[in-house]
Amino acid sequence: MSHDPNAVGTTTDDLPTLPTDRHTGCPFDPPEGLTALSDEPMRRMRYADGHVGRLVTGHAAARATLADPRFSSRYELLHLPEPMEGMPGQIPPAPIGDIIGLDAPEHTRYRRLLTGRFTVRRMRQLTERVERFTKECLDAMEEAGPTADLVEAFAQPVPALVICELLGVPYSDRERFQSQVATLFDQTADAGAKGDAHTALLQYLGELVLAKRAEPTDDLLSDLTTSDLTDEELAGIGGLLLAAGLDTTANMLALGTFALLSNPDQLDALRADPGLAAQTVEELLRYLSVADPLLRSALEDVEVDGTLIKAGETVTVSVQAVNRDPRRFPDPDRLDIHRKATGHLAFGHGVHQCLGQQLARVEMAVAFPALLARFPTLRLAVPPREVPLRERSNIYGVVSLPVTWDQV
Ligand code: HEM
């Protein structure tokens, strides 16, 4: 039987909006306001345009929602939880190649084509390259040290080199695409700036696709030119992969290092046993939940976990809250690299579950232990409170991470 504990006697104005303010408390914890709402796994919430939808903070409810094809990912059906600069109430449909905003059968067609090329085996084969790029970045950092901005010296270049290698995008062109990708994820950038960044990114990828068609090389983009995808689709997919590959892992590496430096017992445990690297990566993914939130829209009336979601309602899945659900992860606010954190939803769940997750895991499992082994005395160069946080971005992280170490 369905029930709606929040419906009776509540006016729209009384309903909560999505809490985003992290100014108080620990930089790794969800906003306090969000934690306060997490007693109810699927509560009613007011959106930026006044729409009344849902906020999911429970792990079981989130899994059920994300796995259910009656919930759509199409952008044009969604309401925004927070106001976005210059964005009208309605979000435009996904641009060509942006498979995150598509449903079956369009999504299935693209996803099948890509999954075949993103196998665990292929990603593991990239390990050697990841190791080489990691070493090169650490060498440069050590030589320029004994202080560095870890974001610029390590967390950004390692994933950038890897995604460029995988796609066949020249790393030397990064001036052309890095700032555009940053604008796309920046929630303070207005719709016009985002549009310009997207057009410029697609133009760059479009030129690259033509070059790959004319002269294929040994990389994913060239490989995809042998499929039935059009040039426009290829440029769009290339842009999505480049953007996702550049920013997400980079933020995990920088914020993850900050979290480890802030939890010396965990840092020491990982240093003492690098065999814990894979497990540490899962726990950091859970604990930090940098890609948040995920949005869906009900295509019909759906009952989830005993709650009726009406057709047309937007559902905001708060990955941060879900990954701290005490019913799923005991003592959830503790970073504990010995716990089995698998089952977290940091990579999403269901048909849109992250395509690059194996690659991201390989990168992090190599990069964290290598960084700690190279700099046994690595520490923050500023008080923790002075580390600037990337709060108004689709991907959470730090703007910079000043670090220092003793030279030997
Ligand atoms: C630690 C790093 C990463 C995190 C936390 C992350 C997180 C996510 C999440 C939560 C989703 C689901 C979105 C939704 O359901 O609406 C997703 C989808 C996706 N990710 Fe990642 N991601 C990471 C790294 C990467 C990398 C390295 C790549 C590319 C090589 C990538 C490519 C994609 C793509 C293409 C999708 C869309 C899949 C689809 O819609 O079928 N991600 N990612």
Cα-to-centroid distance, 295 and ligand 1 (Å): 14
How far is the CA of 193 from the CAs of 92, 190, 248, 403, in angstroms? 15, 5, 21, 32
Among protein residues, the one whose CA lies closest to atom 41 of ligand 1: 352
Beta carbons of 31 and 22 less than 8 angstroms apart? yes
Cα-to-centroid distance, 170 and ligand 1 (Å): 22
Atom of ligand 1 nearest to the CA of 111: 41
Cα-to-centroid distance, 11 and ligand 1 (Å): 37
Among protein residues, the one whose CA lies closest to atom 23 of ligand 1: 248
Interacting residues of 60 by C-beta distance below 8 A, sequence separation 6+: 41, 305, 327, 328
Does 10 have pLDDT greater than 60? no
Beta carbons of 224 and 198 less than 8 angstroms apart? no
Across 32-36, 188-192, 342-346, the highest mean pLDDT is recorded for 342-346
Cα-to-centroid distance, 20 and ligand 1 (Å): 22
Determine how many CB atoms are found less than 10 A away from the CB of residue 29: 16
User: Residues with Cβ within 6 A of ligand 1?
Assistant: 73, 99-100, 111, 163, 240-241, 244-245, 248-249, 252, 290-291, 294, 346-348, 352, 354-356, 359-360
Among protein residues, the one whose CA lies closest to atom 21 of ligand 1: 354
Of 288, 278, 274, 285, the residue nearest 376 (C-alpha): 274
Among protein residues, the one whose CA lies closest to atom 38 of ligand 1: 352
Of 36, 97, 30, 89, the residue nearest 293 (C-alpha): 30
pLDDT for 89 equals 60
Q: How many residues does the chain have?
A: 408
Cα-to-centroid distance, 7 and ligand 1 (Å): 34
DSSP 93: P
* Residue 2 pLDDT class (50, 70, 90 cuts): very low
Average pLDDT (238-254) is: 93
Among protein residues, the one whose CA lies closest to atom 9 of ligand 1: 347
Residue 335 burial (10 A CB sphere; 0-12, 13-18, 19+): buried
Q: Could you give the count of Cα atoms lying within 13 Å of 153 in the half-sphere of its Cβ?
A: 19
Residue 300 burial (10 A CB sphere; 0-12, 13-18, 19+): exposed
Cα-to-centroid distance, 188 and ligand 1 (Å): 22
Choice between 185 and 305, residue whose per-residue pLDDT is larger = 305
Among protein residues, the one whose CA lies closest to atom 37 of ligand 1: 100
pTM here is 0.94
Does 4 have pLDDT greater than 70? no
Query: Token digits for 208?
Result: 């690259």
- Write down all domains in the chain, each with its CATH number in brackets: 14-404 (1.10.630.10)
pLDDT (tens digit, 9 = 90+) per residue, 161-215?
999 999 999 998 887 888 888 888 777 777 788 888 889 999 999 999 999 999 9
pLDDT for 338 equals 96
Cα-to-centroid distance, 346 and ligand 1 (Å): 9
Does 310 have pLDDT greater than 70? yes
